Amino acid sequence: MFWGWGQFDLAPPHNEIDPGICAGNAGQYGGVNAPCSMFARYMLSGMLEVRPFGRGEFRRFMVFGAPSFLFGKTIPQTLYTWSPDAIGVEHSWGLGIYIAKGFEFRVTQHFLFDRLGARDTNLGPADQGNNGPWGRYASVGVRKYFGTRRW
């Protein structure tokens, strides 16, 4: 009925995760004290699939959710820290139907990036808002599963 995974990622200095909220030249607006420092060092993400029906044709149906939490306080080419400050969360959810032979049809809704804590305000001239590359969108797709896991 439940299947999922969790993952922790660490981005080394000079290779930060960019959710598209702050402009790449944010350091020009205050140097190491620039208010827009929302480039992540850490990411905690996961996926949970729920298949609520065990029998009949509805057994092919499932719903899923996939959040990604970002943490850090970094400004490219200006400030590199190991700070665990909360930045925000990008979450998505969707529906899927198993077709046959490892193929699955999916409809996914991705929401706007939600900022957390004190960073949920305008952070100066480098702030691009929540509609960066991780803006709201929906997608329709087909997934193919293959191979067998052998641990």
The answer to whether residue 116 sits within a structural domain is yes
Q: What is the mean pLDDT of residues 121-136?
A: 78
43 phi and psi angles, rounded to 5 deg: -140, 130
Q: What is the pLDDT of residues 66-112, one digit of tens each?
A: 999 999 999 998 999 999 999 999 889 999 999 988 899 999 998 88
Among 131, 143, 97, 144, smallest CA distance to 19 is for 131
The closest alpha carbon to 59, from 107, 1, 144, belongs to 1
Q: Which of 9, 19, 28, 33 lies closest to 81 in space, CA to CA?
A: 33
Is 150 a member of any domain? no
Query: What is the number of structural domains in the chain?
Result: 1
> Does residue 129 carry a pLDDT above 90?
no
pLDDT at 133: 57
Contact by Cβ (8 Å): 85, 116 = no
Q: pTM of the entire structure?
A: 0.83
Distance of CA 41 to the CA centre of its chain: 13
Average predicted confidence (pLDDT) for the chain: 89
Is 149 within the bounds of a domain? no
Read off the pLDDT of residues 27-45 as tens digits, 9 standing for 90 and up: 999 999 999 999 999 999 9
Can you give the pLDDT at residue 108?
94
Phi, psi of 57, rounded to the nearest 5 degrees: -70, -25
**Residue numbers of the domain that contains 72:** 2-144
pLDDT band at 151 (very low <50, low <70, confident <90, very high): low
Above 90 in pLDDT, residue 132?
no
6 domain-assigned: yes
54 pLDDT more than 60 = yes
Asked whether residue 151 is domain-assigned, the answer is no
Query: Does residue 123 sit within a domain?
Result: yes
Strand-pair category, 114-115 with 42-50: unpaired
In a domain, 52, yes or no: yes
